[in-house]
A and B are shown apart, each in its own frame.
Chain A
Amino acid sequence: MNDKPSQISREQGLQWLQDMLRIRRMEEKCAELYGEEKIRGFLHLYIGEEAVAAGVIPELAAEDAVVATYREHGHALVRGISMNAILAEMFGKQEGCSRGRGGSMHLFDAKTHFYGGNAIVSGGLPLAIGLALADKMQNRPGVTACFFGEGAVAEGEFHESLNLAALWQLPVLFVCENNLYAMGTALARSESVTDIHRKAESYGIDSTAVDGMDVMSVNTAARNALEKIRTQQVPVFLEMRTYRFRAHSMFDPELYREKAEVEQWKQLCPIATLSARLKAQQVIEDGDVAALEQATGEEIQAAVAFAEAGQWEPVEDLLKYVYTDSAQNTGQSGST
């Protein structure tokens, strides 16, 4: 693990706090809306892991690509997809970032090069390889940041993709969000080697374990990794050691872990610890946090209203977006 650098600028500190608070508060609202049955389907919350998205994504350039998982609300939000579009998507409204066709697990956005929202564990890794390959073959400067959980490590695609990335020297930033549980299965119950960054090393990829609860450590690691990727055109692997405070999904009764363990990790809350550190260093005051909370609350309120007011797509459009040439959509319907 890398050392925690001590001094943080006010501007940077407030930015990180804001990014993390927006994720935390938006998701708390999502849980509430799920209870009200406004949001349906699966809902996987990122709460506890905010430092990873907030520390990595702002270091990416506009032309870089992001590939994420089904626990991607935080990535999407920090990448710049509006909270309005994210909430509308979860409501299934056509104002959503994927026109309501994807829902919580499938946030997409062409403008910010956000390629999902992939709900197949490890399914995004080959995609990231291809996006990076396209950049490399077209001599573009882009980097592809690929987020995935430690559960993905057990999939063959993880190993196939790391091998290809190293073999072809592709500009990919692999960000493993190791929150210790693949759904309800603890890492030690599913992996023979639990030091995940060592697996990447075995493919010849530069790899580091990072304190994923500390946004500054995450950020420093991401910045160094991106510099290396950009200057040397090689992949880099970061294992972010983090924890989700909530259950895997809204359906999960969480029988697989002790409450005490969860409480222990909550002491490492990335928002509370950063806030405390900034206050201790007299970089920010209580009023700054209150102002951020206030602004975030207002943003959420507006986003909920936006989603509520959104429209259902007309059923006549059901067969749209299957093929680019939508006239072909009727080609396979068979009956007259």
Chain B
Amino acid sequence: MNITYREAMRAALRESLKQDERVFLMGEDVGRYGGCYAVSKGLLDEFGEERIRDTPLSESAFVGAGIGAALGGMRPIVEVMTVNFSLLCLDQIVNTAATLRHMSGGQFSVPVVLRMTTGAGRQLAAQHSHSLECWYAHVPGLRVIAPATLEDMRGMLRIALDDPDPVIIFEHNALYNREGELAEDVTVSEIRRAAVRRAGSDISLIAYGGNLIKALEAADELAKSGIAAEVIDLRSLRPLDDATILASVRKTRRAVLIDEGWCSGSLAAEIGMRISEQAFYDLDAPLARVCTAEVPIPYPGHLEQAALPQVATIVNKARELLGQNV
């Protein structure tokens, strides 16, 4: 069937709400408004106000309440509109959700699922456009995942809900309107492993979330000039799947890391370092990164696009590593 990413997530929410009475969705505008990205549209009518729970603009309280409700035996899905706003509840996520299990000596797990959008590209200016998922991927105690395909958008939520620990799902806002074919009976059984989305032998393009699409387009472009790029979709940002990454790099001997976060301290920096630590002697070229320019995301479209990773930049970086003139 033909379906958008938005519809895929909505189907996943509906399924989870039907399957498990402990599941409820809570967040800003998730109810009457239908979700600020229209993801939860229609769910209020179907499941009622108890389970599709509109919250005030109180990120800290409702995310903390999600953590408390998880402790109390519920399976809350908390939607924070964007990662930018999640900074208002950073304390609850980092100091409480991520630490409770450890500080209690293993007595209390926090099975909360937090959903938030990330990413730029819609001319929403700096305070609505940042990609801060690597901050969360920095924190032990959290699991961080980023669906990039329709299958994952449809299937990851159930696995996240089954996880006894806090899981953050980052949904790139540019994906919601994309359409594609999706089998009716899609099952995703693993979210911690990275996936090889396109096999290749000359260079590894390592991406996640919204940038997977750009990496795949870059691979198409490279194929025209005879370069076989392998495209890795990280899927899980914490834990990182070193095995899949290293297997690919050992085969292709070159890697470009694509990350919409800022270059300094990015997830790409972490992955690059892991490759250096574990596969340095397998490399035939320096590692390269395509990240966001070190600037708060600008409003004007041409500057915003100039700041973000682009297909052409990925293609050029790859060619450079292969010694081709760009």
Q: Which A residues are closer than 8 A to B by beta carbons? A: 65, 94, 96-102, 106, 108-110, 115-118, 120, 123, 125-135, 137-138, 144, 156-157, 160-161, 163-164, 167, 320-325, 328, 331-332, 334-336
Residues of A contacting B273 in the complex (Cβ-Cβ under 8 angstroms) = 334
* Across-interface contacts of A126 in B (CB, < 8 A): 60-65, 67-68, 92
Measured in the bound complex, the distance between the Cα atoms of B109 and A43 in whole Å is: 26
User: Across the interface, which residues of B come within 8 angstroms of A102, CB to CB?
Assistant: 103-105
Q: Are A321 and B60 in contact (CB under 8 A)?
A: no
Verify if B50 is at the interface (C-beta below 8 Å from A).
yes
Closest chain A residue, CB of each to CB of B66:
A130
Q: Is B301 on the interface with A (CB-CB < 8 A)?
A: no
A127 in contact with B104 (CB, 8 Å): no
CB pair A133–B104 under 8 Å, yes or no, is no
A120 to B67, CA, bound (A): 15
Q: Are A324 and B60 in contact (CB under 8 A)?
A: no
Q: Is B277 an interface residue (CB 8 A)?
A: yes
Q: Is the CB of A106 within 8 A of B239?
A: no
**B101 in the interface (beta carbon within 8 A):** yes
B71 touches A127 (CB 8 A): yes
Contact B107 A98 (CB under 8 A): yes
Asked whether B141 lies within 8 Å of A322 as measured between CB atoms, the reply is yes
A65 to B61, CA, bound (A): 18
Tell whether B238 is near chain A: CB-to-CB under 8 Å: yes
- Cβ A137 vs Cβ B24 within 8 A: yes
Interface flag for B91 (CB, 8 Å): yes
Please measure, in the bound complex, the distance between the C-alpha atom of A320 and the C-alpha atom of B101, giving whole angstroms: 10
B37 within 8 A of A: no
- Contacts of A100 on B, CB cut-off 8 Å? 105
State the interface size on chain B (CB cutoff 8 A). Answer: 52
In the assembly, what is the distance between CA of A125 and CA of B92, in Å?
10
Given known contacts A127-B71, A130-B69, A332-B140, is B105 in contact with A96 (CB within 8 Å)? yes
Q: Is A125 a contact of B105 with CB atoms below 8 Å?
A: no
Does B164 lie within 8 Å of A335, measured CB to CB? no
Chain A nearest CB: distance from B81 CB in Å?
A: 16
Q: Which of A129, A135, A321, A331 makes the CB contact (< 8 A) with B105?
A: A321
Residues of B within 8 A of A108 (CB): 100, 103-105, 107-108
A106-B104 Cα distance, complex, nearest whole Å: 7
Q: A130 to B95, alpha carbons, bound, how many Å? A: 16
Q: Which of B62, B108, B241 contacts A110 (CB 8 A)?
A: B108
* A29, chain B: closest CB distance, angstroms: 23
Chain B stretch 44-84: residues in CB contact (< 8 A) with chain A: 50, 55-56, 58, 60-74, 76
Contact of A157 (CB < 8 Å), options: B64, B143, B278? B64
A sample of 23 cross-chain residue pairs with beta-carbon separation below 8 angstroms, ordered by A number, consists of A101-B102, A109-B107, A110-B108, A126-B67, A126-B68, A126-B92, A127-B64, A128-B68, A129-B64, A130-B65, A130-B68, A133-B72, A134-B68, A138-B72, A161-B61, A161-B64, A164-B56, A320-B106, A322-B140, A322-B141, A325-B164, A328-B239, A334-B270
User: Given A118-B96, A134-B73, A161-B61, 4 other A-B contacts at CB below 8 A?
Assistant: A99-B106, A117-B103, A167-B56, A334-B240
